[in-house]
Amino acid sequence: MDILILNSLLRGGIPFVIMGSIALLLYFQNDLSNAKSTFLVGLIIFFVAAASVIYDLDHWSIFKRSIIHFLTMLITVYPILLFSGWFDITSISDALIVLLIFLLVGVVLWSVFMILARIFAW
């Protein structure tokens, strides 16, 4: 279990440090909008990469791994999208539209990676 946590932190932490450093440079250049967006992208990358260790749990079914990964993304990435300022959120229906986009992108990415996993026997 400790190895899993360490792998998760490494997978997510390395890109987050890189993106955070770029965000910091942008901040010091007074490019606050791009600094914020870069930081938020780094945060999203952190959660996506860190949660990828779920797929290393071979004793879980692919269905269980997919559901756990989806729920993890729902409670981490979706709120970042809502509060990022990238979408105009003025009502519940706006938040539901963002949820729909989140779901569509997730289904497409999941499908592509499942196909690639079958082709390359990952």
pTM of the model: 0.90
Residue 35, CB-side half-sphere exposure with 13 Å CA sphere: 11
**Of 44, 45, 60, 43, which is closest to residue 4 (Cα–Cα)?**
60
pLDDT score, position 122: 80
pLDDT score, position 1: 73
Q: Count CB atoms within 10 A of the CB of residue 113.
A: 13
pLDDT score, position 78: 98
pLDDT digit string (tens) for 94-122? Answer: 999 999 999 999 999 999 999 999 999 88
pLDDT score, position 21: 98
Q: Count CB atoms within 10 A of the CB of residue 85.
A: 12
pLDDT score, position 98: 98
Is the CB of residue 46 less than 8 Å from the CB of residue 15?
yes
Q: Bin 85: left if φ > 0, else alpha if -120 < ψ < 50, else beta.
A: left
Give the chain's residues under pLDDT 70. none
pLDDT score, position 117: 92
Question: Strand locations in 1-122, DSSP E?
Answer: none
pLDDT score, position 27: 98
